[in-house]
Amino acid sequence: MFTGGMGLGNTAVVILAAGRGTRMRSAMAKALHPLGGVPLVEHVVRAVRLAGLSTPWVVVGFQAERVEEILEAKAYSVRQPLLRGTGDALLRALDAIGDGYDQVLVLYGDGPLVPPDLIQELLAVHQAGGAACTLVSTMMPDPSGYGRIVRAADGQVAAIAEEREASPAQRAIREINTGLGVWRVAGLRRILAELPWHGEEQYLTDAVTGLLAQGAKVEAMVAPDCKRVMGINTRRELAEAEAIMRRLTLDRMLEAGVTILDPATTYIDAEVEIGQDTVIHPMTFLRGATKVGRDCELGPMTTITASRLADGVVVTRSVVEQSVLASKARVGPFSHLRAGTSLDRDVKIGNFVELKNTRVGIGTKAGHHAYLGDATIGGRVNIGAGTIIVNYDGIAKNPTFIGDEAFVGCNVNLVAPVEIGPGAYVAAGSTVTQNVPGEALAIARARQENKTGWVTTWKLQGGDRAPRP
């Protein structure tokens, strides 16, 4: 942990996230593209927090409102109305931050894999070295397209050679500039204001040239893993980062005591939390801010999104979205829990059952082929196969209430709004349009009539040569 000296309180943090990201070939701002289910820039904000630093300032530009929305209460924002490059972006951030900081840490919204401990080490190196600027560099197998770190004989940074201006000898250098760094604030505003223009942009890397021209000391700390400091500029790089993020997430789960039977076919987003001794079967997707308790069994072929599962829950070959499942609830196979579903403990939802905006009480069972929408269902209720809650009248969704220990037979239609009282029975094949009192039996179907000898008479009249009635 970075301690002593100036202290973390004297470090302002700026994340540059204003760019459009044209190489992504997307209508969405680059900072908003998801990685492990979380926008790129949010990963950087989280790394800053885990490194023990203060709330960062995020420079936004393209689709500024959307970026600000996802970072609400997590970061301060600074607008860059005209996208005039990283140098102009940092200058605007310094103007917004004001005085009171001795140094500024600069990160990028498209660098989501940077580890918090690397940030801490960078600050420690900067403090110990007394440089005007300490950059993060890394060794690249193929440095094409990156600015090279040119070092003097004493190991200090002598220049940053951009690819288009580099000599053949400089192009052979494998150490590249990642753009991450810590800058001494004193005198930085003046340097940024005087940066040269490249078309309509000013580049922060030119500030290094300015410092070196003044005789200031510039250092570069080499990051050991080039993948962790990579910037994402294309869809291909996004896919590479996704694979790294997924591996990191799965490793974290495995170390926490989660059994993942086949990591190659298991996809878990970065925000997901899973309790000890839970078993994840192949082809399982856990998305969003999902929280799973202990001793659960999920999958195979299951997707759970933004839901909370208590201890001992089993979900098999099913989809669960924005739902809450209490302890020992069982779902599936082939069921769909849509948004707003809540299952109390020991509930069993069997095969081909769909629920939406429905609360199900303790010990209730819906075993087969049912639709339960906009309903409140009590405890120890039996929902027979083929039960449909007819919640939509063409204009509005209507509620249904089923009391404790009610019994709903097979192939029943409950036409909402309707209430089934506690302990009531609904006979199989009924279409219920009126409330059923508690302990009552509701029969709502045509009375069966058997006509003795009808088939013989029909055949004698030639009916067997004509379509049956």
Furthest-apart CA atoms within the chain: distance in Å: 115
Q: Angle, to 10 degrees, between the axis of helix 205-213 and the axis of helix 85-97? A: 80
Single out the catalytic residue among 33, 43, 336, 368: 368
Q: Are 356 and 343 in contact (CB under 8 A)?
A: no
CA 438/CA 5 separation, integer angstroms: 74
Interior CA angle at 67 toward 179 and 229, to 5°? 25
Identify residue 199 by its one-letter amino acid code. G
Backbone angles phi, psi at 422, to 5 degrees: -60, 135
Identify residue 150 by its one-letter amino acid code. V
The residues facing 353 across adjacent strands are: 370
Q: Are 360 and 347 in contact (CB under 8 A)?
A: yes
CA 270/CA 37 separation, integer angstroms: 7
Q: Are 306 and 288 in contact (CB under 8 A)?
A: yes
Is 368 a catalytic site residue?
A: yes
Q: Strand, helix or coil at 121?
A: helix
* E strand or H helix that includes residue 120: helix 116-129
Which residues have a catalytic role annotated?
A: 368
